[in-house]
Amino acid sequence: MADLTSLTLAEARDQLRAKKISAKDLTDAHLKEMEKARVLNAYVLETPEHAQKMAAASDAKLGRGEGGPLEGIPLGIKDLFATNGVRTTACSKILENFVPQYESTVTSQLWRDGAVMLGKLNNDEFAMGSSNETSALGNVISPWRRKGDDKPLVPGGSSGGSAAAVSANLCLGATGTDTGGSIRQPAAFTGIVGIKPTYGRCSRWGIVAFASSLDQAGPFARTVQDTAILLRSMAGQDPKDSTSADKAVPDYEKAIGRSVKGMKIGIPKEYRVEGMPAEIDEPWDKGREWLKAAGAEIVDISLPHTKYALSAYYIIAPAEASSNLARYDGVRYGLRVPGKDIVDMYQQTRAAGFGKEVRRRIMIGTYVLSAGYYDAYYLRAQKVRTLIKKDFDNAWKQGIDAILTPATPSGAFGIGEKGSGDPVEMYLNDIFTVTVNMAGLPGISVPAGRDRNGLPLGLQLIGKPFGEEDLFALGHVIEQAAGPRMTPEKWWSK
Amino acid sequence: MNAPVRNPKLLKGDKHDWQVVIGMEIHAQVTSNAKLFSGASTEFGGEPNSHVSLVDAAMPGMLPVINKKCVEQAVKTGLGLKAKINKKSVFDRKNYFYPDLPQGYQISQFKHPVVGEGIVTVDMQDGSSFEVGIERLHLEQDAGKSLHDQHPSMSYVDLNRSGVALMEIVSKPDLRSAEEAKAYVTKLRTILRYLGTCDGDMEKGNLRADVNVSVRKPGDPLGTRCEIKNVNSIRFIGQAIEVEARRQIDILEDGGKIDQETRLFDAAKGETRSMRSKEEAHDYRYFPDPDLLPLEFDDAFIAKLKADLPELPDEKKARFVKDFGLSPYDAGVLIAERETAAFFEEVASGRDPKAAANFMINEFFGRLNKEDKTIEQSPISAEQARHDRRSDRRWHDLRQDRQRPLRNRLGRGWRPARGGREAWHEAGDRHRRHRKGRRRYHREEPGQG
């Protein structure tokens, strides 16, 4: 039998519907691959029994000619999504044994549509990181390696497990969350597609919060079409999330193959960062040519406040995080380290339960919200945020339909290579992605080339609010032009 | 909106006369079926932790959703306080760690409250009245309750109250004596009960006061204030102010100075004591709650609530004075509770209103008191009272009885119409049925997610 795990999600779906394959076989094939690929540490929890039960139910439905849009499709779930009765840790020691009695809205919609859960995927602790190195459950090792070099690489982060699993064929698609680039950057590092939808497009209910005004769930898959299929199931208004948008969810898949003729694509000059290597410029130039060849119009634009985005982001996100993470206090659930009094118990618990990067961000956040510093930091950062939004609004007013940028300033790096001394070195990874979260816009990362080491590089397309369909149409053009799908060599199963 | 000129009530010190300046923050529990941001019940007296949703327990990934009913109640209250209603307000997080605060922050309103400046007209015993400025009213979550007496070395936490909606009603520092402060809380409570936005039950903690007290020599600028936290009866409010003012005067006359701090009132010892100093005060790190959009509504929303407002105590009092020729004092007594006023109006219909007022105040209330009954539990209906066989004239004459000891007035002269005495039981039953019916109605009011 052909390798079922190398199918695209769309192919698998069509073959399931045509009864050429069964959900059981598809799920079993993935479970087997997961077992072989444990060295990657992409999954922090495998749920084979769940998966097999769900697959059997899907086969029954498919057998009756029924079933939802994702019937029988095996997926991995980032460990930030609460899954009913299944351990959910946010890859933090403080939640190491936490089993929620509720299901996040996004995952419940995936199960409603027939998807099968293979397990929970690794991520940076509380999604704070860009390399998956802050996970309390261990690094994820990227399925990718530099040419002629066995050194383990990071898959990016924070959704590093999701990206690695999709890239290594350990699931047909995965969920991620993106607060500053946590879907787009790992997608770019692993040669797959990831989209962060418009803020409010997917419900945040049941997703462990990092920074509430920036967090947004989105899918990973190996093709643009597959992410479109997944997003349709994940998106939608939720009365349990006041910030979710009351807007109908279109059939995103229909945007695949749609003509991009006459669309205006903005190229922001501020994204051409000083000292940016030619290998990043090259796919960007190519992307421009590809879109032009497909009939789009390329326009140079300016987003003048871009340079302030990263600093403002690293004030706002930690500020919200410092408050969001206050609930992990050892009183009601999660880790508790006994202390001589309540304050001591808080201190012991939080010192033992949170990793270094999380503690750092809680401290930064607490500082910038403190009396006397609030105006200078938090308030100012919010003003910058407003200006960044205005930059984008001005672009849309000029008639721009989408903006093309590199997804990351470099290809994947080695484990332990960055950020051990200066955390800002790591934060710089988000330089092209954070503006999109600050403005609440949708952004997609599509594989578009390789760096000098043969590692994947991605292009980012930024859309208007709720302009996801534009991104799928444009992303598909780039995907087609960029050539065959990038697949890592399966060094782990030799 | 300063206090109008009125008798300066001064406290005598050894060296000077002192003026007390008081401002109040009243925490009034909003009458609603569901909590401010979750669908959990607000019913009092459940088993510990039996009214706790995932949101109230601050489970990972849970999000607050505003309960519209609570917003309506706050706006209604604002209208009752003749206050400015802010069509756009913002919920903020007030961050601090405490075991009965599951989120690690309280959702409150800091810079942009739902209700702005208003006015309360306060009536004193002597029939005079004065105005107290309202600074603001905002919505916020109540905390849970720590139980320290369940285990020798551990504390327990009950989250039933966690997330229940409170209105914090902040007055201007317009009060000048313990008596005025008590009268203010009494009046505010009456207004809230008329509006049906808070039941005012202080025993259950549904109305609590933080009292800010400072003293100064008349004409001097405001002195340093101390805040007495969580005083839970009107009597204690008066006592707390008196002992705190005396404490401050003693310090100042000894040449000391007042430290701005938070204090607790110990009713048993009749003293206030320091809870935390200004230096120890929390830095609450307020910032807008990113899980909630700004709270916005339009004029139509306000207009609808305005149209549904009941006749408020001041209006009712004015009407009783004007239409029935009652004295402001008698009118004030009769309107203190909405039910009493309604009872009175029924008794007065077809009889001389002044005689009816006299009957109510000089006989009926005494009888209820003796029986330890509320007006809802009255053994006779208003209808039956109206048919008392005594003439208006005789009712009028009851006034003379006022001079006699209370004890002697009770139970005398009561000559109910036929069936009056037998009505006792029936009335009790009817009362119970009424209560039950009302509870059912409340339960049907939809809670929100």
Q: How far apart are CA A392 and CA A401, in angstroms?
A: 11
SS3 content of chain A, % helix, strand, coil (to 5): 45, 15, 45
DSSP assigned state of B268: T
- The answer to whether A196 and A184 are in contact (CB under 8 A) is yes
Mutate to test the interface with A, among B53, B55, B59 (most CBs of A within 10 A): B59
Query: What are the DSSP E strand ranges found in B16-79?
Result: 17-29
What is the token pair recorded at B308? Answer: 């549904």
Chain A residue with minimum CA distance to B39: A240
Residue B433, pLDDT > 60, answer: no
What is the token pair recorded at B35? Answer: 């909590």
Burial of residue B123 (number of CB atoms within 10 Å: 0-12, 13-18, 19+): buried
**Do the chains contact at A242 and B66, CB–CB below 8 Å?**
yes
Q: How far apart are CA A208 and CA A98, in angstroms?
A: 12
- The answer to whether A12 and A24 are in contact (CB under 8 A) is no
Give the helix/strand (H/E) hosting A217: strand A217-221
Q: How confident is the model at residue B448 (pLDDT cuts 50, 70, 90)?
A: very low
Chain B residue with minimum CA distance to A345: B99
Does residue A460 sit within a domain? yes
**Annotated catalytic residue within A78, A120, A196, A418:** A78
What is the token pair recorded at A195? Answer: 């989209």
What would the mean pLDDT of B364-370 be, rounded to a whole number?
Answer: 83
Q: How confident is the model at residue B399 (pLDDT cuts 50, 70, 90)?
A: low
Question: What count of other Cβ atoms lies within 10 Å of the Cβ of residue B199?
Answer: 17
Does residue A325 sit within a domain? no
What is the token pair recorded at A275? Answer: 């000292």
- The answer to whether A158 and A185 are in contact (CB under 8 A) is no
Residue A243: CATH number of its domain: 3.90.1300.10
What three-state secondary structure class fits A451? coil
Average pLDDT for chain B: 86
Does residue A152 sit within a domain? yes
What would the mean pLDDT of A143-155 be, rounded to a whole number?
Answer: 97
Does residue A160 sit within a domain? yes
At A214-231, the pLDDT tens digits run: 999 999 999 999 999 999
Higher pLDDT, residue A121 or B374: A121
pLDDT number for residue B6: 61
**Minimal C-alpha gap between B158 and chain A (Å):** 11
At A313-332, the pLDDT tens digits run: 999 999 999 999 999 999 99
Does residue A192 sit within a domain? yes
Among A75, A62, A66, A55, CA closest to A15: A62
Q: How confident is the model at residue B419 (pLDDT cuts 50, 70, 90)?
A: very low
In angstroms, the Cα distances linking A388 to A38, A394, A427, A438, B192 are 42, 10, 18, 7, 46
Residue B67, pLDDT > 90, answer: yes
* Cis amide linkage into residue B274, ω under 30° from 0: no
At B71-106, the pLDDT tens digits run: 999 999 999 999 999 999 999 999 999 999 999 999
Q: How far apart are CA B254 and CA B252, in angstroms?
A: 5
Q: How far apart are CA A291 and CA A266, in angstroms?
A: 11
Residues of B in contact with A326 (CB under 8 A): 95, 97, 103-105
Does residue A33 sit within a domain? yes
Give ipTM to 2 decimals.
0.96
What would the mean pLDDT of B392-403 be, rounded to a whole number?
Answer: 63
Sign, CA torsion B211/B215/B218/B222: negative
Question: Which phi and psi (to 5°) does residue A352 adopt?
Answer: -80, -30
What three-state secondary structure class fits B295? strand
Q: Which amino acid is at A91?
A: C
pLDDT number for residue A2: 66
Among A228, A224, A175, CA closest to A204: A175
Q: How far apart are CA A194 and CA A210, in angstroms?
A: 19
Lowest-pLDDT choice from A274-283, A409-418, B109-118, B392-401: B392-401
Q: How far apart are CA B144 and CA B49, in angstroms?
A: 9
At B211-220, the pLDDT tens digits run: 999 999 999 9
What would the mean pLDDT of B19-32 be, rounded to a whole number?
Answer: 98
What would the mean pLDDT of A413-420 be, rounded to a whole number?
Answer: 90
What would the mean pLDDT of A17-24 be, rounded to a whole number?
Answer: 97
Q: Any catalytic annotation for residue A78?
A: yes
Burial of residue A424 (number of CB atoms within 10 Å: 0-12, 13-18, 19+): exposed
Across the interface, of B62, B63, B157, the residue whose CB is closest to A242 is: B63
pLDDT number for residue B398: 67
- The answer to whether A212 and A180 are in contact (CB under 8 A) is no
Residue A244 sits at the chain B interface (C-beta within 8 Å):
no
What three-state secondary structure class fits A20? coil
* Cis amide linkage into residue A158, ω under 30° from 0: yes
Q: How far apart are CA B47 and CA A242, in angstroms?
A: 30
Q: What percent of chain A has pLDDT over 90?
A: 95
In angstroms, the Cα distances linking A243 to A182, A216, A379 are 20, 11, 21
Q: What percent of chain B has pLDDT over 70?
A: 86
Q: Which amino acid is at A389?
A: K
**Annotated catalytic residue within A131, A162, A167, A182:** A182
At A151-209, the pLDDT tens digits run: 999 999 999 999 999 999 999 999 999 999 999 999 999 999 999 999 999 999 999 99
pLDDT number for residue A44: 98
Q: How far apart are CA A143 and CA A153, in angstroms?
A: 8
DSSP assigned state of A117: E
pLDDT number for residue A66: 95
Sign, CA torsion A299/A305/A307/A310: negative
Q: How confident is the model at residue B380 (pLDDT cuts 50, 70, 90)?
A: confident
Chain A residue with minimum CA distance to B60: A208
Residue B412, pLDDT > 90, answer: no
Domain that holds residue A249: 4-263+401-493
What would the mean pLDDT of A89-94 be, rounded to a whole number?
Answer: 98
What would the mean pLDDT of B175-191 be, rounded to a whole number?
Answer: 96
Q: How far apart are CA A155 and CA A493, in angstroms?
A: 18
Question: What count of other Cβ atoms lies within 10 Å of the Cβ of residue A52?
Answer: 16
Residues of B in contact with A369 (CB under 8 A): 95, 285-287
Q: How far apart are CA A112 and CA B204, in angstroms?
A: 45
Burial of residue A324 (number of CB atoms within 10 Å: 0-12, 13-18, 19+): buried
Q: How many residues does the structure list for chain A?
A: 494
What three-state secondary structure class fits A132? coil
Give the helix/strand (H/E) hosting A227: helix A224-234
pLDDT number for residue A421: 74
Does residue A368 sit within a domain? no
Q: How far apart are CA A456 and CA A447, in angstroms?
A: 7
Does residue A111 sit within a domain? yes
Higher pLDDT, residue A483 or B438: A483
- The answer to whether A153 and A146 are in contact (CB under 8 A) is yes
In angstroms, the Cα distances linking A179 to A65, A433, B291, B367 are 39, 9, 14, 68
Q: Where are the alpha helices (DSSP H) in A82-183?
A: 105-112, 160-167
Burial of residue A246 (number of CB atoms within 10 Å: 0-12, 13-18, 19+): exposed
Q: How far apart are CA A326 and CA A114, in angstroms?
A: 36
**Do the chains contact at A369 and B285, CB–CB below 8 Å?**
yes
Question: Which phi and psi (to 5°) does residue A205 adopt?
Answer: -65, 125
Average pLDDT for chain A: 96
At A235-285, the pLDDT tens digits run: 999 999 999 999 999 999 999 999 999 999 999 999 987 778 889 999 999
pLDDT number for residue B445: 34
Residues of B in contact with A87 (CB under 8 A): none
Question: Which phi and psi (to 5°) does residue B295 adopt?
Answer: -85, 115
- The answer to whether A208 and A202 are in contact (CB under 8 A) is no
CB contact burial A376-395 (16+ within 10 A = b; e otherwise) = ebbebbbebbebbbebbeeb
Unique residue bearing structure tokens 């997080």: B93
Unique residue bearing structure tokens 């009245």: B129
CB pairs under 8 A between A and B: 98
- The answer to whether B181 and B238 are in contact (CB under 8 A) is yes
What is the token pair recorded at B304? Answer: 């609808």
CA gyration radius for chain B? 24
Higher pLDDT, residue B266 or A427: B266
Residue B259, pLDDT > 80, answer: yes
Contacts of B128 (CB under 8 A, 6+ apart): B6
Residue B434, pLDDT > 60, answer: no
Mutate to test the interface with B, among A323, A346, A358, A437 (most CBs of B within 10 A): A323
What is the token pair recorded at A473? Answer: 């149409």
Question: What count of other Cβ atoms lies within 10 Å of the Cβ of residue A362?
Answer: 22
**Minimal C-alpha gap between B162 and chain A (Å):** 13
Strand partners, B24: B211
What is the token pair recorded at B263? Answer: 């204090």
How many structural domains is chain A composed of? 1
Residue A346 sits at the chain B interface (C-beta within 8 Å):
yes
Q: How confident is the model at residue B403 (pLDDT cuts 50, 70, 90)?
A: very low
Unique residue bearing structure tokens 């002697």: B408
Q: How far apart are CA A177 and CA A196, in angstroms?
A: 8
Straight-line distance from the first to the last Cα atom of chain B, in angstroms, rounded to the nearest whole number: 40
pLDDT number for residue B444: 29
Specify the pairing of strand B226-231 against strand B261-266: parallel
Residue B308, pLDDT > 70, answer: yes
Chain B residue with minimum CA distance to A373: B285
